[in-house]
Chains A and B, each alone.
Chain A
Amino acid sequence: MLPAGIRSRGIHSESLSMTRSAIYLCCVLLALLSWPAHAALDASQLSKLAADDNDAKVAVVKYLTSHPSPEAQAVLNAMTDDALYQDHGRLLIVRDDKAIDAATLQPLGPVPDSAESIIVNNRLRGAVEGALSAFRLFSKDIATRLTAARNVKQDPRPEQLPLIQQALAKETNKEIREDLLLAQASIQISSPDEAERLAAVKILGATNNLEVRTKLAAMLIQNNGQYNEASPVVRAAAQQALKSIDLRISLARAAASLFSGLSLGSVLLLAALGLAITYGVMGVINMAHGELLMVGAYATYFVQSWFKTHFPQYFDWYVLAALPVAFLAAAGVGMLMERLVIRKLYGRPLETLLATWGISLVLIQLARVSFGAQNVDVANPSWLSGGIEIIQDVVLPWNRIIILGFSMAVLIFMSFLLSRTRLGLFMRAVTQNRAMAGALGVPTGRVDTLAFGLGAGIAGLGGVALSQISNVGPDMGQGYIVDSFMVVVLGGVGQIAGTVYAALGLGIVNKLLESWSGAVIAKIVVLVFIILFIQKRPQGLFALKGRSVD
């Protein structure tokens, strides 16, 4: 039934949506050459697309789905790209400012001034995408077919059924076949034939499609003493299918909410790790900590702009280059702060608090003056966009996964530095007993500066991560200062391990509360909890044992 040409067309059509119109024209020509004799599209059908009636437009898309041909595919592609125009009822496809007749694909020369773009709304776009996916089931490229099968499975439409069945007859790839069988079953679940329904329901235990689940559940509902599904055999199968779907979905959901908790925890951890050194280990109440995060985030923005102008081809990797830049920038600012201000105020926490708060205001204003009061746009590189789907409707975004990994890497880097290097040894020695360390020849002044620089630098690294998930603006640090102190205090001052548990714990608790009571209440509950906890246990989760510091 299906013209042979459609199989050779699919691969082109996939690249088409992504590439320039030159390729597009080649495609059309190739398709025309490889296509056996076929009838052009019915222009009177097509002209309904020019009308304002969306019902008629959807009918045309259905007509195109049932008349697969290069023209049909070209028209559908043009609709997804907003490239379909009408000129006095005649349909044109516009590519590179050149018009092509939609019914015959003959070039027509320049676009007439009276041409008007045909508006594709959501309802129509859904239908068009469904049709295109069905067409792509016949592509030569396995990956294209697989994506198409996925799409068809997620949004099965009755008019696709003949195409799905034709594809099934030819398909040999196991994965694609499974998807197609599910799609077919999702459509046949409403079939009038009992045997077909039963077969469909039996397969559908493996689906993750929530809409299909709704349909299955509807079968078991009684209406006026009558089940919606008359056959008891089908009902039993539906019950079975529902059970297995629900089990899978609830497992995946639990995994996803655990993940989002961990992910929020990792963000908190990145924000607080630097503070765990400057406040936790050194005892400096640094109110400008949030601004050090901001310095890191702006450094990322700076590197991004530099890559945009100098190395646009490596743009995807700017985040990696931003890491050392952000670390050094924030560490530099931190060391400067320590040398010029904090050093003079050791042992006077109240003055330190006020002075660092002042510094934070200066830094905010500096950012405002040099980058503008507006948030700046930090783009996600392609490898930080999108996500992996563990089941349908449960997606773990890449940026969150990578930030989770990154926070662990920073943690390892820091604990290595503290426990395995000479600098770390000195730092611990100075914080435990400054006078003794000094007497043994440790340059305490320089160690203070370096330690503070390290804490600041790690805050800078946190800034890089934050720039990928939230807004970068002069005030961004303010939102994190409270969270950071919360984490460090809860974890126990002077304890890196405590910080880790506190951050991840707060993240998970916050997310659990959020899904149960909403974001606003969750925030309040967590704050109240911490206040009560600190009342009961002022030393935090983990207290330093032995003699107290200083």
Chain B
Amino acid sequence: MDNQRRKFLGTMGAITAGTLLAGNHFAFAADKSPIKIGVLHSLSGTMAISESALKDVVLMTVEQINASGGVMGRMIEPVVVDPASNWPLFAEKARQLLTKDKVAVVFGCWTSVSRKSVLPVFEELNGLLFYPVQYEGEELSQNVFYTGAAPNQQAIPAVEYLMSKDGGGAKRFFLLGTDYVYPRTTNKILRAFLKSKGVKETDIAEVYTPFGHSDYQTIVANIKKFAGGGKTTVISTINGDSNVPFYKELGNQGLKATDVPVMAFSVAEQELAGMDTKPLVGHLAAWNYFESVKSPVNTTFVKMWKDYVKKKGLKDFPVTDDPMEATYVGIHMWKQAVEKAHSDAVDKVRIAMAGQTFKAPSGFTLEMDKTNHHLHKPVMIGEIRGDGQFNVVWKTPTTIRAQPWSPYIAGNEGKQKL
């Protein structure tokens, strides 16, 4: 019954797409109506610290594209909504963007729980989502393009670095995260990875805090206690504004990076912008881009952002960071795909996305994988400097293909080709 219905819907979809397509071909030269795109980032609530800037990156990139003639001669018209760090609201807003505003594509989400919340909506309505943040993998949707890192493009290399001589030769690992799907899955992968490297169960601690947690006294004290047993490193998957009290507590309790380095997966230049980074010098972050990267493309990108910020008076966001870069790359790749497909229809764009390349600010040419909807990205490890920027202390020589299904999770063996 269900199967038949699905088939029927599929056929209907194909017919509709076909008609639309034919229509598009006829109207191609004449259609100058703007293409709507959705922007689905929290502008308030606990995630606003991270997500607000992404909205402005979308608006900036759209302005840039429109100024150079738009997409196939059509202007892009962004539709901005605020899901307010409220996961069910993400789904509602996504539905509104797809059905009421009829956007061609949505750029949005930060936390995995928000992505999981909108995923059924995008799959049901055959929408297209560009997701710009590093995440835990274990997902592959026809309706999503992942422009952030998969675990093997961030978490695993970061831990390998920490275990190396230059990273301090860590023997014990304190996994600290916010309590939701991304930190839990990442830590599951890391635990399996660490075990495969011969790290004992007793040398791994795993601790979670609720969203918006602000009292890190006990946890920092426990980290110190744990560190008594050997060279320790903290792997932080804390998300949102909890990072501020966490790093404040680290500073107040005098836990220095030379003793116990903290490697963060969700702290970038933007999160550090409001903090006093003097006590944090030397703590680490792993990303695929840092503002301090020296490349001509990055110089232009950073300058464009600074000019935009100045023009719009956005004094809260003076810096660029990895998810912003991923957003920027995503929009440009989508534009290239639309131009290649001569259409903004989701099914056409999806096919055209495969193998798209773009010269990214990270100094590498990124490629959208032909099959798995993830970008090939370089991995970089940065240490926090006194001025809130990062020193890149390690990076991969080339880009790395994403493994959305981590080989360190049982049951993923058959999915390695993806």
B210 and A125: CB pair below 8 A? no
Specify which of B210, B251, B253 is in contact with A523 (CB 8 Å cutoff): B210
Interface residues as binary, B121-146 with A (CB distance below 8 Å gives 1, 0 otherwise)? 00000000000000000000000000
Give Cα distance in the complex from A460 to B275, angstroms. Answer: 24
Query: Do residues A121 and B48 form an inter-chain contact, with CB atoms below 8 A?
Result: no
User: What are 26 A-B interface contacts by the 8 Å CB criterion?
Assistant: A54-B166, A82-B385, A119-B391, A122-B168, A122-B261, A126-B258, A210-B227, A256-B221, A373-B43, A373-B82, A375-B241, A375-B274, A385-B252, A393-B228, A397-B249, A397-B252, A397-B253, A399-B252, A469-B215, A479-B212, A511-B217, A511-B218, A518-B207, A519-B213, A519-B218, A520-B208
Q: Is the CB of A214 within 8 A of B258?
A: no
Residues of A within 8 Å of B48, CB to CB, are 373-375, 473
**Residue of chain A at shortest CB distance from B258:** A126
Tally of chain B residues near chain A (CB < 8 A):
58
Interface residues of A (CB under 8 A from B): 54-55, 82, 119-123, 125-126, 129, 155, 210-211, 213-214, 253, 256-257, 260, 263-264, 267, 368, 372-375, 377, 379-380, 385-387, 389, 393-395, 397-400, 469-471, 473-475, 479, 511, 514-515, 518-520, 523
* A368/B44 in contact, CB under 8 A: yes
Contact partners of A518 in chain B: CB under 8 A: 207-208
Interface contact B316-A374, CB-CB below 8 Å? yes
Complex interface: chain A residues within 8 A of B383 (CB): 121-122
User: Which of A54, A214, A374, A400 has the largest number of chain B CB atoms within 10 A?
Assistant: A374
Contact with A along B38-49 (1 / 0, CB 8 A): 000001111011
With A373-B48, A518-B208 known as contacts, the answer to whether A389 contacts B214 (CB < 8 A) is no
Residue B259 is within 8 A (CB to CB) of chain A in the complex? yes
Judging by beta carbons under 8 Å apart, are A82 and B386 in contact?
Answer: yes
Q: Give chain A residues whose Cβ lies under 8 Å from the Cβ of B282.
A: 121-122, 125
Q: A514-B218, A520-B179 are in contact. Are A386 and B210 (CB under 8 A)?
A: no
Chain B residue at smallest Cβ distance from A117:
B391
User: 1/0 per position for B162-205, CB-CB distance to A under 8 A?
Assistant: 00011110000000000100000000000000000000000000
List the A side residues contacting B217 at CB < 8 Å.
260, 263-264, 397, 400, 511
What residues of B have a CB within 8 angstroms of the CB of A267 in the complex?
215
Q: Which residues of B contact A386 (CB under 8 A)?
A: 251-252, 254
Set of chain B residues within 8 Å of A123, measured between Cβ atoms: 165-168
B73-129: which residues lie under 8 A (CB-CB) from chain A?
Answer: 82
Q: With A374-B52, A386-B251 given, name 15 new contacts (CB 8 A).
A: A82-B385, A123-B168, A155-B258, A155-B259, A373-B43, A375-B49, A375-B241, A379-B276, A385-B251, A393-B225, A394-B224, A395-B254, A511-B217, A518-B207, A523-B210
B221 A122 Cβ-Cβ under 8 A? no
The contact string, 1 if C-beta is below 8 Å from chain A, for chain B 343-359, is: 00000000000000000
Which B residues are CB-close (under 8 A) to A125?
A: 257-258, 281-282
Interface string of B201-244 (1 = CB under 8 A from A): 00000011110111101110110110111100000000001001
Q: Hey, what's the 0/1 contact readout for B296-317 against A, CB within 8 Å counting as 1? A: 0000000000000000000010
B157 to chain A, nearest CB (A): 16
Query: Are A520 and B44 in contact, CB atoms less than 8 angstroms apart?
Result: no
Chain A hits for B318, CB < 8 A: none
**A395 and B252: CB pair below 8 A?**
yes
CB–CB A129/B258 < 8 A? yes
The answer for the CA separation of A123 and B167 in the assembled complex, in Å, is 7
In the complex, residue of chain B having the shortest beta-carbon distance to the beta carbon of A154 = B259
At the interface, yes or no: B9 with Cβ under 8 Å from chain A?
Answer: no
Q: Which residues in A have their C-beta under 8 angstroms from that of B165?
A: 54-55, 123
CB pair A121 B166 closer than 8 Å: yes
Across-interface contacts of A398 in B (CB, < 8 A): 252
| Contact indicator B230/A214 (Cβ below 8 Å) | yes
For A263, the chain B residues whose CB sits under 8 A away are 217
A377 to B315, CA, bound (A): 13
For B386, list chain A residues within 8 Å (CB). Answer: 82
**Contact of B214 (CB < 8 Å), options: A54, A374, A394, A469:** A469
Chain A residues whose CB sits within 8 angstroms of the CB of B210 once the complex forms: 519-520, 523
Minimum C-beta distance from B210 to chain A (A): 6
* Docked complex Cα distance between A473 and B221 (Å): 27
Query: In the complex, A386 Cα to B282 Cα: how many Å?
Result: 18
CA of A469 to CA of B220, assembled, Å: 15
| Chain B residues with CB under 8 A of A519 | 207-210, 213, 218-219
* B342 at interface, CB cutoff 8 A: no
Mask for B253-286, Cβ within 8 A of A = 1, else 0? 1100111010000000000001110000110100
Shortest CB–CB separation between residue B91 and chain A, in angstroms?
A: 20
Please give me the residue from chain A that is nearest to B209 by CB atom.
A519
> Is B393 an interface residue when CB atoms closer than 8 A count as contact?
yes
Q: Is the CB of B214 within 8 A of A471?
A: yes
Which residues 372-418 of B have a CB within 8 angstroms of A?
Answer: 383, 385-386, 391-393
Instruction: Return the chain B residue nearest A511 by Cβ.
Output: B218
Query: Chain B contacts of A394 at CB under 8 A?
Result: 221, 224
A120 to B384, CA, bound (A): 11
Contacts of A523 in B (CB 8 A): 210
With CB as the reference atom, state the residue of chain B lying closest to A376: B274
Q: Are A389 and B241 in contact (CB under 8 A)?
A: no
Cα A473 to Cα B179 in complex, Å, equals: 21
Could you say which residues of chain A place their CB within 8 Å of the CB of B254?
386-387, 389, 395
Expressed in whole angstroms, the Cα–Cα distance for A429 and B247 within the complex equals 48
Complex: A55 Cα to B393 Cα, angstroms: 14
